[in-house]
Each structure stands twice: as C-alpha cells, then as structure tokens.
Amino acid sequence: MTAAELVRHALKLLVAKDMAAFAGLWAEDGVIEFPFAAPGYPSRVEGRAAIQEYMRDYPDILDVRQIVQETVHQSVDPEVAIVEFEVAGVVPRTGKPYRMRYVAVVTVRGGEIQLYRDYWSPLAAADVLGGLETVNQAFAGGAHE
C-alpha cells in the first residue's frame, strides 16, 4: 500500500469509528506529532500501544460522520504523503456540530505509518468542545509527551 493509499484508508477508518484498526496502521514504534500543541496538550505520542490508548475514546469526544473534503498529495519522497481534509460531525457531550480542517504529513514504511505529523489546532477545536481545558482533558489523558 502506498503512502497516499494508506492515508485514504486511515480516513475511512476514522469515519467508521474503528479506532483499533486506525491505530493499528502505525508501526510498532510509530509516532504522532502535534507541532501546534497548546500548553498542556501532548506534542508527541510514541508507539502503537500508546497511539491505541490515545485514540481509544476519540468517538466519544468527536463523532466524525463525514470527510467533507479530502486532498492527498504525493510528495517527491514515495514514503511521504500530505493530506488536507475537512471533517464534519458532532460533539457527543454537547450535541454541537463539529467541522474542522486538518493537514497531516504522513511517512509510511513497509505498509505502516512511521510518522504522522498532525497540524490540527486544539485552539480551533476549543470553541466547539467547550474550551481549551476540555480539549486538553479529552485528548491528553492517554498520551505521553
């Protein structure tokens, strides 16, 4: 599976709320990085097991129902794809609609995600989720900085 194909597959699993399969796409020593992490928010989650723990309750925090827009760019490096996507869904705790844009740079080796650099903004999500403290509590619980 190419980097671009794996990214598209990952987005389908996100909408399907199959967090175990989503996290299972990472290499055993794979990493998620959050370059724009807010204070108190993890900047890095290392290892498949930690990523599985981090993603486990995601559908209870954000009920992603649709990928509204998706563009996958294959970089000149065949192991790296860049994805721009917008999700739409609902915040289960509040019932508020959720719509947000993301950009991720994904490195794939041997059919597994080695590095997922996620350029999402916890500050942008804070308004819908009920404040930055709520975002940090929801997403920082299972992660390791």
CATH (domain of 35):
3.10.450.50
> Is residue 145 situated within a structural domain?
no
Query: Which pLDDT does position 75 carry in this prediction?
Result: 96
Nearest one of 34, 51, 53 to 43, comparing CA atoms:
34
With bands split at pLDDT 50, 70 and 90, how would you rate the model's confidence at 134?
low
> Total domain count for the chain?
1
pLDDT tens for 4-23 read: 999 999 999 999 999 999 99
Contact 10, 32 (CB under 8 A): no
| Rounded mean pLDDT, 101-130 | 86
pLDDT tens for 82-97 read: 999 999 999 888 888 9
Which residues span the domain enclosing 86? Answer: 3-140
pLDDT > 90 fraction of the chain, expressed in percent and rounded: 66
> Is residue 126 situated within a structural domain?
yes
Q: Give the chain's length.
A: 145
> Which stretches does DSSP call E strand in the chain?
26-33, 44-46, 63-74, 80-90, 97-109, 112-118
Task: State whether residue 35 is helix, strand or coil.
Answer: coil
